[in-house]
Structure 1
Amino acid sequence: MPGIDTSRPFIKVRIAVLTVSDSRTIAEDKSGQTLVDRLEAAGHILADRKIVKDEISDIQKTVKQWIANADVDVVISTGGTGVTGRDVTPEAFAGLYEKEIPGFGELFRMLSYQKIGTSTIQSRASAGVAGGTYLFALPGSTGAVKDAWDDILVHQLDYRFMPCNFVELFDRLQEHEKRSKG
């Protein structure tokens, strides 16, 4: 049965929060603030927080800076995952992924379906790994952010969660680079 193994120590994860929006400010960013509140309540560290416009180049520039920053373990974005012309977050992230984590989007939509029905089909939530950093692209609604955090990420970003979690894999995310240098 999955759950927390209290014999394992809690490990703080350093998380950067990115809001993708042409119109929001930090003061108006309810979804980004929801992520910040939840990650801090779980005991993790807010490594950075930014808002960028719905432009692939702007999104990638910020995410690349965080990937290169040893003080960022995880990037979670909110916004830009729909199907309209301005929704480009999945494309921006896909251009950075070394490895995609397709199960994240699949699981998110399955959980979301239980709450919003077939409307979940409009979400292109995605996840992957780049440069040893986990990247998660969430929809911009506060409800979607809560669902992704409360039902998936709070568990997978907790080293104590068993039978497995993303945190225990941090040291192995860049094994391919070690092999190619050796």
Structure 2
Amino acid sequence: MRLIIFILLSSLWLTGCIVFDKKSTSVNFYQLSTPTASPQKDSPIIFVPRAQIPSSLRRPNLVLTEEKGELSLNDNTRWVSPLDRAISETIARNITLNTQLPTTTQTPSGDHFVLLIDVSEFNLGHQGATLHLSYRLETDKGDLIKQGYGKWENKANDDPASLVKAQSINLANAAAEISQVIINHTPAPVR
């Protein structure tokens, strides 16, 4: 009898926890577009750890505007994976496409090079999508090989899909520039 009363009271109590909101919309997930590339050379391996990004972008939501300290967020637009990881993966895959060298986002064993990415701006403003980043190419021992900074802009509308497409292009352009640095400043592959 106690069990029946407990089940009855529990079911009455839990019915208040479920809310069916007919006005709510579905969540849309976005992902940066990355090329499918297979390395044609065995070495050197380029390790690309997670990118450093502004704290305002460390959230699952897409930040549509970040001008004058104002953020425009929408709970219905989210990244498929954390943005810092997605940026590193996008740059790494584009570098593999451009250089034919193997890249990884996991720490490799053995000799490798490290590409550190620091994003200072990744937003959608009145001029379109803007990407500012600095990079540092190092040996696995931490010795500097080359560093640089760049700014890339691409036209985009004021919507999430346009931001994702434009920033994917910006990241591909950044990777193309970094790829030239890698080609010019890393030793020939070991066979």
TM over 0.5: no
TM-score, normalisation: structure 2: 0.36
1 or 2, which has the higher helix percentage? 1
Normalized per residue, the structure richer in strand is 2
Looking at CA atoms only, which structure, 1 or 2, has the larger radius of gyration?
A: 2
So what's the TM-score if we normalise by structure 1? 0.38
